[in-house]
């Protein structure tokens, strides 16, 4: 039976946190987007911490409206000290009792879905963020907002790798604007709440995180490729194929996220990703061929109507701030991450569950 997430990855993340994880002991955490790709990792990590590491359990309250959760997300495992509530973050959430951390990971992050649901994408990143900030303010909880590397838009080459200080080159009108601009407003809300109310806010800007648990129906590049390999079809590379990205394996990303949540300087934003290698989508196909040990055919095609075409030409993070302030250091190279992901996908995507 193939697992939706690799237990070895969850254990690795918790081990790499070291003594920092004890900051969660005896605390209460509210997680929005609890059944999304990242949310499911958070739920498994907290369950593992409670079972194996923490001296006193952390209470996790996970919320999700399950609209884009898919079959993996809808199956909510029951763990001690964990409560799941079906809730839309656009609506106010009343919480009685203590609350120490709010992790706002709810959002519509797949280009396929935000192309189809632009208003809902705006609302969860703007209204939902304000609702959760108000809750954090009320309980004096630390607040972490999951933004996106998309807030940088298509950066000028002289700003690649891109630092947190770069202000962005983003269009407010276009097929990606509902996502890019709403994340930018969400960050502004965090800035205002920190400045006006003293709320301890942090913003995370993830860069192309991948790993087991990604759903085929998200239509992102690596699930797309894995699905095509499964069916014995050539890989479809959109646009020119020369657009470049860096990819961060999920264990590195989750360690970085948790370091921000626990140790981030209040009011600050952090890039979390892997700055190397920056490769084109055609080069990514070649890497996959290396990993699986055989040539993989591909076609370079026009963007389908369901996928927004105005994607950035380059995306590569400058992570010096997270390195210096949080001691964040990615350790899983691209080939190893692809090996883990494709091995997992070969079992799950072929229905061996």
Domain positions in the chain: 7-211+248-273+315-332
List residues bridging with 63 in a β-sheet: 32, 85
Unique residue bearing structure tokens 């004096």: 140
Residue pLDDT, tens place only, 60-115: 999 999 887 766 667 787 899 999 999 999 999 999 999 999 999 999 988 888 88
- Total residue count of the chain as it appears in this document: 353
Cα 139 to Cα 21, 81, 161, 266, 333, distances in angstroms: 22, 20, 37, 16, 40
Residue pLDDT, tens place only, 20-59: 999 999 999 999 999 999 999 999 999 999 999 999 999 9
Mean pLDDT in residue range 164-168:
97
Return d(Cα 93, Cα 134) in angstroms, integer.
10
Using alpha carbons, select from 205, 147, 204 the residue that is nearest to residue 181. 147
**113, 114, 166, 179: the active-site residue:** 179
User: In the annotation, is 219 catalytic?
Assistant: no
Whether 245 and 278 have beta carbons less than 8 Å apart is answered as: yes
Return d(Cα 327, Cα 20) in angstroms, integer.
12
Return d(Cα 87, Cα 207) in angstroms, integer.
27
Whether 244 and 287 have beta carbons less than 8 Å apart is answered as: no
Tell me the whole-structure pTM to 2 decimals: 0.95
Question: Taking the domain 7-211+248-273+315-332, which CATH number applies?
Answer: 3.40.50.720
Whether 269 and 203 have beta carbons less than 8 Å apart is answered as: yes
């Amino acid at each position: 039976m193939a697992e939706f997430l690799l237990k070895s990855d969850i254990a690795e993340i918790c081990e790499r946190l070291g003594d920092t994880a004890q900051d969660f002991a005896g605390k209460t955490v509210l997680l929005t987007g609890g059944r999304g790709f990242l949310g499911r990792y958070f739920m498994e990590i907290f369950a593992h911490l409670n079972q194996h590491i923490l001296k006193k359990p952390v209470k996790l309250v996970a919320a999700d409206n399950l609209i884009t959760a898919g079959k993996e997300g809808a199956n909510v495992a029951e763990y001690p000290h964990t409560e799941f509530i079906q809730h839309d973050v656009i609506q106010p959430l009343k919480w009685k009792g203590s609350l120490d951390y709010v992790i706002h990971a709810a959002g519509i992050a797949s280009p396929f879905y935000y192309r189809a649901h632009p208003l809902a994408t705006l609302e969860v990143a703007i209204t939902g963020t304000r609702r959760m900030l108000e809750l954090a303010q009320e309980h004096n909880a630390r607040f972490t907002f999951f933004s996106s590397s998309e807030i940088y838009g298509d950066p000028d080459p002289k700003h690649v790798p891109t630092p947190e200080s770069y202000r962005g080159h983003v269009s407010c009108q276009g097929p990606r604007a509902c996502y890019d601009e709403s994340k930018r407003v969400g960050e502004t809300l965090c800035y205002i709440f920190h400045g006006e109310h003293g709320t301890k806010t942090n913003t995370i800007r993830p860069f192309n995180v991948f790993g087991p648990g990604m759903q085929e129906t998200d239509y992102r590049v690596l699930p797309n490729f894995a699905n095509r390999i499964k069916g014995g079809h050539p890989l479809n590379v959109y646009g020119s194929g020369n657009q470049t990205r860096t990819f961060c394996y999920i264990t590195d990303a989750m360690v970085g996220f948790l370091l921000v949540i626990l140790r981030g300087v209040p009011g600050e934003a952090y890039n979390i990703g892997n700055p190397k290698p920056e490769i084109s989508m055609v080069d990514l196909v070649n890497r996959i061929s290396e990993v699986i040990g055989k040539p993989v055919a591909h076609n370079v095609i026009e963007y389908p109507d369901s996928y927004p075409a105005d994607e950035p030409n380059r995306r590569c993070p400058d992570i010096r701030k997270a390195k210096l302030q949080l001691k964040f250091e990615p350790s899983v190279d691209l080939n190893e991450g692809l090996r883990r992901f494709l091995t997992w996908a070969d079992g799950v995507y072929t229905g061996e569950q």
